[in-house]
A and B are shown apart, each in its own frame.
Chain A
Amino acid sequence: MKKVTKEVLKSNAEKLMFEMSDEDLDLLVNEFGVIQEQMSLIGEIEGVDETTPMTFPFDVTSTFLREDVASEPLDRELALRNAKDVVDGQIRLPKVVK
């Protein structure tokens, strides 16, 4: 398991374009330390690598498929109510691509 260090966190924060204070980094390194320690305990269980990961609590399948019927869309104002900056009915964001 890759150890989560201050450097790893800093690099990820940079990729996601936000800054983290030393205090934040210390807090997260500490929290990840606890989580990783617990995970390593699971790693000690014999044969765990050969076990297929479970996504669902029960091994069941469904047959449900939704009929292709369109419903009424949201009212635009309602749909965009949480957006901070709306221009001409569109959400405006700082450009992050070249």
Chain B
Amino acid sequence: MEFEAIIGLEIHVEMKTKSKMFSSGPVSFGEDPNTRVNPVDMAFPGTMPTVNKQAVINAIRVSNALHMDIDDTVIFERKNYFYSDLPKGYQITQQFRPIGSNGYLTIETSNGPKKIEIERLHMEEDTCKQLHSWDFSLLDYNRAGIPLIEIVSRPDMRNGEEAAKYVEKIRSIVTFLDVSDGKMEEGSLRCDVNISLREVGATKFGTKVEIKNLNSLNNIQKAIDFEISRQSIILEFGGQIEQETRRFDEGSKETVLMRVKTDAVDYKYFTESNIAPIKLSKEFIEDAIKTSPELAETKLERYKSFGLNDYDSNLLIADHDISNYYDQGVKSGCSPKLLANWIIGDVQSVLNRDCISIKEFKITPENLGKLVLLIESNKVSNKQGRDIFAEMVNTNEDPEAVMNKLGISQVSDEDELRKVIIEILDVNEQSIIDYKNGKGRAIGFIVGQVMKKTQGKANPALANKIILEEIGRR
């Protein structure tokens, strides 16, 4: 028997707003437990939720990027369940009227482009973080109420690669739109997979298994590929798939059973009566879209228009922070191509060497741009630029100041350089004869002498040109 997998994904994206979805409680990560909560987050009696404007703007922007219909009325429902991660006893979510619906995105797979349809995008609030020990659980409400968007795909994916590409694309969209930092390993982008198998040609879906909490693209692909082979073996031997929730075990690279789903949970959804329906004006929606940050694809086109090749452009946009750094640097007016070379080469090697991110890198994009301008205008050579860079890496000093401090400057004055070259040629007759007899390397010796005399400050390209001119005259 040959089977095909039917895969749908639910992605939760934690927004990086300043305040929470329904309260002005601060949003920040890595703080001491329960130090980022306010009375609404703790569901103290009498508190009332208010909707975060930026969260709505973010949801509109992502919906637009996913080609969705945007609902101009924002309505929330209560999802009722009794569990300690919810102080209110319900989660405020959008069950019946998601802000975004009927969208799609196109992914690039090894078999070419594929369109994945997206059913819905809705806003909701995150729950509190629970730390489970062997016989007790600890609750930290800092996360409770952080704005989330949930993006639900249609079951359009067929293998692990497609699912991983889909998540990668969603992550790129939410990070480039500045909606989220999209860090899967830290839980700001969480992915649940629904997967079932059916015989090729069949129209009825098989029994669905859910895989929860996949924390990397790699694990999504591995978990799905494992699950496809696990379910195939069961079906091949005439067994039945249980409706269950599984998780991916990093160590064994297998999915393991968490719980068997018995009867469906009834969340008894009803309208959140503390938030009256909010009407979004056409202008508000249009403005949210118009002022939206640039998506990776748009940036890519812009970078190519700078003369960057595909490879370099993709390297820059692979990291949202690096592409932002690049964009800032370009504003200095330097050559975009030369700046890209510096970032991909010298900057990246410092980041690798020191194991730091671009955000921790000392040289500001403005100063790196200035350094590139110094090189472009022949005030310093590439090699001298590197010496200045090495100094700036520790201090972020202005490159011109470093140039003066180190006594670095490039002799680009043609008359001055010609004078030095004539002097050198006068005492190196043999090299001229050698060159004229076809020994091209003799020129290297002369250049070396020029560099020695100018203490490495001669502009090498200019020196080369003058040397050839002067030899021609003799």
A interface residue numbers (CB < 8 A to B): 16, 55-56, 60-74, 76, 79-80, 87-98
Contacts and interface: CB of A to CB of B under 8 A. Distances in A.
A90 B132 CA distance: 12
> Chain B contact residues: over half helix, strand or loop, or mixed?
loop
Interface of B: 17-19, 24-27, 32-39, 42, 50-56, 73, 82, 84, 131-141, 258-259, 270-271, 273, 276-281
B101 to A, nearest CB: 19
A62 B53 contact: no
A81 to B, nearest CB: 10
Contacts of A98: 258-259
B279 A94 contact: no
A56 B37 CA distance: 29
A94 to B, nearest CB: 6
Nearest 3 A-B pairs (CB), nearest first?
A68-B54, A70-B26, A65-B53
Contact of A62 (B56, B278, B281): B278
Contact of A63 (B36, B139, B279): B279
A95 to B, nearest CB: 5
A34 to B, nearest CB: 21
B52 A89 contact: no
Contacts of B37: 73-74, 79
Contacts of A76: 32, 34-35
A61 B276 CA distance: 6
Contacts of B139: 90-93
A98 B245 CA distance: 13
Contacts of B53: 65-68
Contacts of B277: 56, 61-62
Nearest to A75: B35
23 contacts: A56-B271, A62-B278, A64-B278, A65-B51, A66-B52, A68-B17, A73-B35, A73-B38, A74-B38, A76-B34, A76-B35, A79-B42, A88-B33, A89-B32, A90-B33, A90-B34, A92-B137, A92-B139, A94-B135, A94-B137, A95-B132, A95-B134, A96-B84
Contacts of B271: 55-56
B138 A92 contact: yes
Contacts of A93: 84, 136-139
A63 B26 contact: no
B279 A62 contact: yes
Contacts of A67: 53-54
A76 B4 CA distance: 52
Contacts of A96: 84, 137
Contact of A69 (B19, B39, B279): B19
Contacts of B136: 92-95
Contacts of B281: 63
A96 B130 CA distance: 11
Given A66-B53, A90-B138, A95 B18 contact: no
